[in-house]
Amino acid sequence: MFSRTVLSSFVLSFALLSPAPLNAAEIVDDAIAQEKAEVAQTCKVATYGEHFADIVDFNNDGLDDVIVNRGAVNCDGVDGKLCGNVGCPHNFYVGVAEGGYVFIANADLYGYELKKRYGNLTFEMKANAASCGRDDDDYCIITSRVRGLRFDTISKR
């Protein structure tokens, strides 16, 4: 079993070799608490809705992962204040066996659904049309799965 230091070094090496953001190397003990602390930097009073944080094993490794939807925050009395014109920020954390979570991605989304395909969970994410290289008013549906610490896009439509 690897120590947290060894795992952090491995994840950092992986992050440097992949297109993941550098902060993906950081292991956080409590992803939800970290997200709430970041929201507190913007909002004086925050009320967290039912789907602010969903805990689910989305990378199919048997460990809990966390999806945070900042659109589910009422910030200073305003619903959706943390959202923009291309959706609401969603942050994705993968649970690691040594304890804690690794931040792997963020995306501005209008929503998502988790669907089981061939025994594995996949995301169907509703995003801005520009995410699919279009300039129309329809949503872009991006289907992805997560393998380890990486999103793999299956299709965009």
DSSP-assigned states of every residue in 107-129: EEESEEEEEEETTEEEEEEEE-G
- The reported pLDDT for the residue numbered 25 is 59
**pLDDT tens readout for residues 13-22:** 333 333 444 3
* Average pLDDT of the residues of the chain: 86
What is the pLDDT confidence band of residue 6, given thresholds at 50, 70 and 90? very low
Task: Check: CB of residue 121 under 8 Å from CB of residue 143.
Answer: no
108 touches 127 (CB < 8 A): yes
Q: What are phi and psi of 124, to 5 degrees?
A: -115, 105
Mean pLDDT score, 88-92: 97
